[in-house]
Amino acid sequence: MTGTRMSGSHSFATTGAPLERAKAAVVLLHGRGAAAESMFGLADVFEQPDIAYCAPQAPGGSWYPYSFLAAIERNEPHLSSSLARCGAAVSWLEGFRFNAQQIALLGFSQGGCLALEFAARNARCYGAVIGLSAGLIGPDETPRDYPGSLAGTPVFLGCSDIDPHIPVERVRESSRVLSALGGNVIEKIYPRMGHEINDDEVDRVRRILSRLVAAS
């Protein structure tokens, strides 16, 4: 069932299982220039009837104005605001009765970068963290001394080796950092795919979410 929910000043588009009976929840973070509801097509193909999906909307369609590789300060205050918006979605779901281990963070492109950065800055055991065509935010040599621990959180990073927006080395660095934080990271680099989501990624995410439901 698709709808819109409010939490304070934040609104979230929702779909999937009713929150009252869902066994797990996924925060969906859209790409640049898209709408929250644009992620609902993925929710359909994941085929998980016991999962509720919550999708925040980026103001103006973008979580931050410049490339995720730009200096952090260039993307402020938008980046901090967007991280807070992601946190508000997680807190809203927790207030609705889900614990962090029942909540997955999933984003594509700019939204995937936001999901990974939020998880790294707010590390704890989540149900899953999934970045599709994504990497941690900031220029090369950004300090990655994040506090906390992902404590075995399943993490999946999928990207092309020729993605025009996401350098493959940033994906690999993100894998190393999230592994060091205690994530159980699977990284998959797809030859010559471009900036998109393929069937193998969908299948892998479907399996991750199926295990999340079973564990819940």
**The token pair that represents 210 in the structure block:** 């199926």
Phi-psi region of 78 (alpha: psi -120 to 50; beta: other; left: phi over 0): alpha
**The token pair that represents 53 in the structure block:** 């999906």
For residue 158, name the pLDDT band (cuts at 50, 70, 90).
Answer: very high
**153 pLDDT higher than 80:** yes
Euclidean distance between CA atoms 135 and 153, whole angstroms: 17
**198 pLDDT higher than 80:** yes
Bridge partners, 53 (sequence order): 15, 26
Q: What is the pTM of this model?
A: 0.94
Euclidean distance between CA atoms 93 and 205, whole angstroms: 20
Q: What local confidence, expressed as pLDDT, does residue 9 receive? A: 54
Of 6, 125, 126, give the one whose Cα is nearest residue 54: 6
Q: What local confidence, expressed as pLDDT, does residue 146 receive? A: 95
**80 pLDDT higher than 80:** yes
**206 pLDDT higher than 90:** yes
Model confidence pLDDT, tens digit, residues 13-36? 999 999 989 999 999 999 999 999
**The token pair that represents 147 in the structure block:** 């506090």
The SS3 of residue 117 is: helix
Q: What is the mean pLDDT of residues 133-158?
A: 96
Euclidean distance between CA atoms 57 and 52, whole angstroms: 17
